[in-house]
């Protein structure tokens, strides 16, 4: 299991020091790639995204990455993130879904 050196609290401290007000900042995440512990990475990503809503400094705009091994997983991840409170991600997930549908002629 590979635990990233950065988590929601630590990245929020860095964002507080380095980002201008109203900057969009991203929750920490683990890429989903073949031949790694996908279940751990999925769980870790969801936990960090949920924590980041509260940890993100008030003067910044929290965002979360949408990861997935399939189009459906990416889309569902974006919709799930919107339930955490990442309002922009539902729209991002829909845009990604439409682009992938077009690219792969789905």
92, part of any domain? yes
Q: What is the average per-residue pLDDT within 22-46?
A: 86
Domain that holds residue 72: 8-103
Per-residue model confidence (pLDDT) at position 66:
74
Q: Which pLDDT belongs to residue 80?
A: 56
Q: According to the model, what pLDDT value does residue 31 have?
A: 79
Total structural domains within the chain:
1
Q: Does 23 have pLDDT greater than 80? A: yes
Q: Which residue has the higher pLDDT, 13 or 35?
A: 13
Per-residue three-class SS string for the chain: CCCCCCCHHHHHHHHHHHCCCCCEEECCCCCCCCCCCHHHHHHHHHHHHHHHHHHCCCCCEEECCCCCCCHHHHHHHHHHHHHHCCHHHHHHHHHHHHHHHHHCCC
Task: With a cut of 60, say whether residue 89 has pLDDT above it.
Answer: no
Q: What is the mean pLDDT of residues 89-99?
A: 58
**Residue of 7 and 104 predicted with greater confidence:** 7
Any domain includes 2: no
The answer to whether position 59 is within a domain reads yes
- Is 1 inside a domain boundary? no
47: in domain: yes
36, part of any domain:
yes
């Amino acid at each position: 299991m590979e635990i990233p050196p950065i988590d929601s609290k630590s990245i929020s401290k860095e964002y507080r020091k380095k980002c201008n007000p109203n900057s969009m900042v991203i929750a920490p995440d683990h890429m989903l790639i073949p031949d790694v512990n996908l279940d751990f990475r999925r769980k870790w990503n969801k936990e960090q995204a949920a924590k980041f809503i509260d940890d993100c400094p008030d003067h910044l705009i929290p965002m979360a990455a949408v990861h997935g091994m399939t189009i459906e997983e990416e889309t569902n991840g974006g919709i799930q993130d919107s339930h955490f409170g990442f309002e922009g991600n539902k729209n991002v997930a829909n845009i990604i879904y439409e682009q992938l549908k077009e690219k792969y002629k789905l």
